[in-house]
């Protein structure tokens, strides 16, 4: 394991981002790359978000569940 990689215990202690943080990060990512804002941002079943653009028909799901070890 590289020195830069967190240990399993450290990774488990990292707080999962909130829905609001995910939405802010997505909006910032889009703005940084001069991409259009989504037409809708919906709640996803797992606590994440779904960003929808109506034209063209595009959806991006931001999953906030922790990764399986």
For 13-64, the pLDDT digits (tens) are 567 788 899 999 999 999 999 999 999 999 998 788 999 999 999 999 998 8
Q: What is the pTM of this model?
A: 0.69
Residue 1 lies in a domain: no
Range of the domain at 41: 8-62
CA distances (Å), 37 to each of 13, 22, 33, 64, 67, in order?
32, 14, 11, 20, 27
Residue 22 lies in a domain: yes
Query: Which pLDDT score is estimated for 22?
Result: 92
Residue 69 lies in a domain: no
Name which residue leads in pLDDT, 57 or 7.
57
């Amino acid at each position: 394991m590289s020195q830069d990689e967190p240990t399993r215990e450290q990774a488990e202690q990292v707080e999962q981002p909130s829905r609001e943080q995910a939405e802010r990060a997505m909006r910032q990512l889009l703005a940084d790359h001069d991409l259009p804002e989504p037409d809708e941002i919906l709640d996803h079943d797992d606590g994440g978000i779904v960003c929808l653009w109506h034209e063209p028909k595009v959806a991006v799901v931001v999953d906030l569940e922790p990764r399986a070890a």
